[in-house]
Structure 1
Amino acid sequence: MKQLYLVLLSVHGLIRGRDLELGRDADTGGQTLYVLELAQALSERPEVARVDLMTRRVVDDDVSDDYAQPIERVSDSFHIVRIDAGPDEYLPKEQLWDHLDAFVDNAFSHFKNQRFYPHLIHSHYADAGYVGDHLSSQLGVPLIHTGHSLGRVKRARLLASGLSAEQIEDEYNMSRRIEAEEMTLAVAERVITSTRQEIEEQYALYDYYQPNQMRVLPPGTNLENFHPVEKEGIDHAFRDYLARPLVEPDKPMILALSRPDRRKNIVSLVEAYGQSEWLQDHANLVIIAGNRDDLEDMDDATEKVFVELFLAMDRYDLYGKVSLPKHHQRDQVAEIYRIAAVSGGVFVNPALTEPFGLTLIEAAASGLPLVATEDGGPRDILDNCHNGYLVNPLLPDTIARAIEKLLKDPELYAQKVENGLKGVTKHYAWQAHAESYLALIKPLVKNNQRLERPPMARRKGLYHDRAFVTSLDQNLMGDREAVKTLMQRLKMHRQSTLFVIATSRRCDSALQLMKTYGISEPDVLISSAGTDIRYAPNLTSDQAWLKHIDYQWTPHRVREVMAELPGLKRQPRLEQSDFKLSYYIDLNKISPDQIKKSLYEAEQSVHVQLSFDHYIDILPIRASKGLALRYVMDRWQVPLAKTFVAGGAGADEDMMRGNPLAAVVANRHHEELSNLSEIDRIYYAESAFEKGILEALDYYDFFGECVDPREVDAESEAGNEASNKAKNDLSGDKA
């Protein structure tokens, strides 16, 4: 086989062969480092003659002259080639779309002038996908693609940040980006992803999604930085700083390292440690959660994470056993892993969602066994490395047992450490990545092994055009086989159908129930009775909604009023949240109307919701499941007339009223929702639980015409009456 000439395309940002300006802006992040290190690793392989990394040329006084060089020779076999496209100055990626055709033409001219073409093009991100699609067609060479992030997923995060659909379109050119991603998927011979979850939960949102096109090839890790302790040992001064709050600092360290984000679920690790007397006796807990000075200077979400951590430490009286250092430098991270490894410790990642899990690879390369969430990337990492245990992050007891298992058995511990070191070298070193990469592309180049594509077509609309909404309790907990059928149907139609779960439970409680019953993660999770809205795939919280409902909300005053009323008892802390106060109610002693009257007399503008005749939730006046649902449908631009709602309790009533296509399953007919029977757009299923939902979906032909047949019949009857009247009038005229 001839030696390979490979071209990597990464259009936006600032790329040079040394001193990368990582973090300069949103366009100089992980993708920049990944593409550069991939190019370097490939160029060092004996079967590769040359690697060109093509990017946009920038001539701008505000950036280094390095980015104006047309060609930068990094090594004999690796060059950075900069192509003119649009104005000279540095532009963010969102402003490059009108200049990508010029990039294509100038790149094609470059290949013509050098008189030899690459064997393969590898595009990175949507803009490079657009360029790669055109160049691969012009040059007649195969295209492979790495998305890095996807427009449909990014749009959900932007909606969560408070931007409207119109703002997202104006500022991010989202429709052009998604169109480019669709066309890239339509022509690329292979798509490289970091995890299986990325394939199943992100690329599956696209019309041109082809599973046989996807390959999991995780990025390499720099093993020069992350490695076990060497002869010189550890930095003892830094180790003493980390261990300063610990009474017995020589115990093994249970280490967690992440951003202070609720999705990282660090509080569950503290609870796991606090509930295990054995762990407290035999190990210390060290949590590295970013840098902090004054909590009051942090944003609200970050401050809440630390408050929860401190409250959990206090609840279990963990003083002298837990270290939560305030500061560390980025270049000290590798040393933190090694200090924990020397102590005989364990690295724990208890995140609710973890798309990849780079910290797990770094920890394993440093000589630590792992305990990690069973979500996403960690499954792939532990499948490859066999160096620890996957746990349910919502069950602290399972986290504690997994850590205990490693620390109680020295032989098992040593085996897991050895497995991790071997596994990382085999699967996650850049050399291993380059070897796997070449094994993937050689058949495309040598044998012209092209993808067999099934017949595929684009939908008319760019985004979801309908929504499936259901509560949890009393709807999805009756028949596990029917749940599987329902989830399969939703998966088949996930490009067109927005999947929403709306529950009165807190987010963590809802996730635990979903795991127990095998319910897929929804696109949108409305929890805490409509006060918390989160978007997949990372459970991103909608901050705009939180600001909206924080109106005339004075929970301390509500608690004072409720404390004076009979027949009420506060529910456990786990069922409370910032915008939901929950109580048990004895209807023999007090009614919801009496509660409302007392709160209104105290000038409290709130929503009072009764569920299952036993639970009362007090919410801000702007919050409820129905209001949250309408907010989500408006932001996602899904019409209520094509929104199916399956309700299970009184708290669901305001979701079901109005224009949605609604259904009540048989096990709820004669309870709280029976008063909806006078509403035309409510379907009362003959079957219970999930079977009732499936029955209602068929009744509405939800995945087809998505209409209420009663309205169609009424329109048809009205049309017949009008036709008959016209005929009668005509007969009368003739007479």
Structure 2
Amino acid sequence: MVFLSLEGSFINPTLMEPFGLTLIEAVAYGLPVVATKNGGPVDILKALNNGLLIDPHDHKSIEEALLKLVADKNLWLECRKNGLKNIHRFSWPEHCRNYLSHVEFSTEGDSKLNGEMDPVARQKQIIEAIMCRVSSTGNSNASCYFPGRRQRLVMVAADCYDSDGNIAEEAFQAVVINVMKVVRPGIRSGRVCVMLQTGLSFQETIEALNNFQVNMEEFDVVVCNGGSEMYYPWKDLMAYTDYEAYAEYAWPGENIRSTIPRFAKVDDGEENDIVEYASACSSRCYSYSVKPGAMIQKIDELRQRLRMRGLRCNLVYTHAGLRLNVIPLFASRKQALRYLSVKWGIDLSKVVVFVGEKGDTDYEELVSGIQKTLVLKGAVEYGNERLLRSEESYKREDVLSQDSPNIIYAEKSYEDCVIFQQFWSISKYHDFCF
């Protein structure tokens, strides 16, 4: 370690770094750093001025940054000096001083500081001022929404489509209405949040729920386009901007838009096998319509082709394999669930997910995990497993444990009585809802 502190540098090329404690530790040893241009490292290097930021997807920029630090002795020494000089900014004493100074500033408008005031009384005054300020802000900004005392989350993610890629109206309506009927006592008691996840576009989701006479405001959050967009129905369908900013990192955007039709076709495919579906596209989701019967690349093959050209994204076949959604790398339905679990402070073990026996190509990711999953038999007739990977690759049973205690299969159908019975067994219904 002494050798490293005199001669080396520290690199953290992670795709996403919320803070970067390893950077702080490296700086304390006198190491200049090369870190990802995302999250915490941006703020750390701005404060310490002791290294270089890189795009973790760009191997060339990583190489150039490392060579620059190694080759330029003066730059290396300057970064080392700046780091050791400024590292105190991330010490606990400094953190406490900053925190208290912000608290002091935030309460100045509510009460004037009396230098003779007893410290205990002053502390009480600060706490009361903060609580008053928090209670007065309310829920005016959807990006700051938290579900209060709700400590359970129900997610509905049944991919109900017919053979033409249209919504299977009867199945979709029955699943949504019956699940809502089962969990409504929990909603009324204020303990349960409900999230709808779908591969439909935002506009298609609104139209479907309106056609089925489902009150969209009963959902706390609606996730569309395979996890790339998140909306609050109760807040005038306001987009969740924090999630958008999180999901957009390293999104190739327009650079990938025209590339997909060329790469998604097989070598001897026709020109119109896959074309852009403009009405379902958004800034974070490019949708493509697949011609029925067309031979197209499977997800693992298409992903490999794109990665070889430095294009990283999530790919999801939906609508019975007749639509391809291309979304940011950090966007997916499972990622949206994890994001809200952390944001709202709801443990994943207290989440129940309703799915069909099959679904979009993100189905396996959606079902796996520590959350409870209730599989509704007969709810989904057409899945997309055949478009996920080649026949020589691993099988679904290699990924999903057939005897997992977290997955329960409805024995008969997706009727509400069956849902209720299975929901009771998987979640201890009374404790979950009340």
| TM-score, normalised via structure 2 length | 0.55
- 1:672 CA drift (Å): 4.9
Residue 682 of structure 1 corresponds to 407
Structure 1 SS opposite 2:430: coil
Q: Does 1:493 align with 2:186?
A: yes
| Deviations 1:543-578 (CA, angstroms, capped at 9, x unpaired) | 121112222212322223223232542353221111
For residues 620-635 of structure 1, the aligned pairs below 5 Å read 620-635=328-343
Structure 2 SS opposite 1:686: coil
Q: Does 1:98 align with 2:128?
A: yes
Instruction: Give, in whole Å, the separation in 1 of the partners of 2:305 and 2:340.
Output: 32
| Counterpart selection for 2:222 from 525, 540, 548 | 525
Greater CA radius of gyration, 1 or 2?
1
Residue 425 of structure 2 corresponds to 699
Residue 304 of structure 2 corresponds to 597
- 1:683 CA drift (Å): 1.5
User: Is 1:484–1:518's contact at 8 Å kept on the other side of the alignment?
Assistant: no
Q: % of aligned pairs identical?
A: 16
Distance 1:613 1:478, change over 3 A: same
For residues 302-341 of structure 1, the aligned pairs below 5 Å read none
Residue 362 of structure 1 corresponds to none
Residue 22 of structure 2 corresponds to none
| Deviations 1:411-462 (CA, angstroms, capped at 9, x unpaired) | xxxxxxxxxxxxxxxxxxxxxxxxxxxxxxxxxxxxxxxxxxxxxxxxxxx6
Q: Does 1:609 align with 2:316?
A: yes
Instruction: Give, in whole Å, the separation in 2 of the partners of 1:506 and 1:671.
Output: 18
| Counterpart selection for 1:502 from 182, 192, 197 | 197
Structure 2 SS opposite 1:493: helix
Q: Does 1:647 align with 2:355?
A: yes
Structure 2 SS opposite 1:537: helix
Q: Residue 413 of structure 2 aligns to which amino acid in structure 1?
A: A
For residues 564-575 of structure 1, the aligned pairs below 5 Å read 564-565=262-263, 566=265, 568-575=273-280
Instruction: Give, in whole Å, the separation in 2 of the partners of 1:684 and 1:697.
Output: 10
User: Is 1:626–1:652's contact at 8 Å kept on the other side of the alignment?
Assistant: no
| Deviations 1:118-138 (CA, angstroms, capped at 9, x unpaired) | xxxxxxx997xxxxxxxxxxx
Q: Residue 496 of structure 1 aligns to which amino acid in structure 2?
A: R
- 1:488 CA drift (Å): 3.6
Structure 2 SS opposite 1:544: helix
Q: Residue 687 of structure 1 aligns to which amino acid in structure 2?
A: K
Deviates more, 1:594-603 or 1:617-626: 594-603
Distance 1:476 1:98, change over 3 A: farther
Residue 549 of structure 1 corresponds to 247
Q: Residue 409 of structure 2 aligns to which amino acid in structure 1?
A: Y
Structure 1 SS opposite 2:306: helix
4+ runs deviating over 4 angstroms: 85-89, 479-485, 669-675
Instruction: Give, in whole Å, the separation in 2 of the partners of 1:96 and 1:158.
Output: 26
User: Which 5+ residue runs of structure 1 have no aligned equivalent?
Assistant: 1-61, 64-84, 90-94, 104-124, 128-148, 166-204, 206-461, 708-735
| Counterpart selection for 1:562 from 233, 257, 260 | 260
| Deviations 1:5-36 (CA, angstroms, capped at 9, x unpaired) | xxxxxxxxxxxxxxxxxxxxxxxxxxxxxxxx
Residue 9 of structure 2 corresponds to none
| Counterpart selection for 1:468 from 127, 150, 154 | 154
Q: Does 1:478 align with 2:186?
A: no
Q: Residue 688 of structure 1 aligns to which amino acid in structure 2?
A: S
Q: Residue 179 of structure 2 aligns to which amino acid in structure 1?
A: L
Structure 2 SS opposite 1:478: helix
Instruction: Give, in whole Å, the separation in 2 of the partners of 1:551 and 1:481.
Output: 37
- 1:508 CA drift (Å): 2.2
Distance 1:706 1:670, change over 3 A: farther
User: Which 5+ residue runs of structure 2 have no aligned equivalent?
Assistant: 1-107, 115-124, 161-167, 386-395
User: Is 1:487–1:519's contact at 8 Å kept on the other side of the alignment?
Assistant: no
Q: Residue 646 of structure 1 aligns to which amino acid in structure 2?
A: F
User: Is 1:535–1:542's contact at 8 Å kept on the other side of the alignment?
Assistant: yes
Distance 1:654 1:483, change over 3 A: closer
| Deviations 1:192-235 (CA, angstroms, capped at 9, x unpaired) | xxxxxxxxxxxxx9xxxxxxxxxxxxxxxxxxxxxxxxxxxxxx
- 1:609 CA drift (Å): 1.5
User: Is 2:316–2:325's contact at 8 Å kept on the other side of the alignment?
Assistant: yes
Instruction: Give, in whole Å, the separation in 1 of the partners of 2:247 and 2:143.
Output: 19
User: Is 1:468–1:497's contact at 8 Å kept on the other side of the alignment?
Assistant: yes
Structure 2 SS opposite 1:641: helix
- 1:705 CA drift (Å): 4.2
Q: Residue 249 of structure 2 aligns to which amino acid in structure 1?
A: Y
Distance 1:655 1:593, change over 3 A: closer
Q: Residue 313 of structure 2 aligns to which amino acid in structure 1?
A: V
| Deviations 1:656-686 (CA, angstroms, capped at 9, x unpaired) | 2111101221124895577545261222212
Q: Residue 402 of structure 2 aligns to which amino acid in structure 1?
A: E
Distance 1:687 1:517, change over 3 A: farther
Q: Does 1:665 align with 2:371?
A: no
User: Is 2:159–2:355's contact at 8 Å kept on the other side of the alignment?
Assistant: no
Instruction: Give, in whole Å, the separation in 2 of the partners of 1:610 and 1:492.
Output: 35
For residues 118-157 of structure 1, the aligned pairs below 5 Å read 151=138, 153-154=139-140, 157=142
Instruction: Give, in whole Å, the separation in 1 of the partners of 2:126 and 2:231.
Output: 31
Q: Determine which structure has greater relative contact order: mean sequence separation of CA pairs < 8 Å that are 6+ residues apart, divided by chain length.
A: 2
Instruction: Give, in whole Å, the separation in 1 of the partners of 2:304 and 2:134.
Output: 56
Distance 1:575 1:696, change over 3 A: farther
User: Is 1:587–1:613's contact at 8 Å kept on the other side of the alignment?
Assistant: no
Structure 2 SS opposite 1:647: strand
- 1:579 CA drift (Å): 1.1
| TM-score, normalised via structure 1 length | 0.34
Structure 1 SS opposite 2:330: coil
- 1:487 CA drift (Å): 2.6
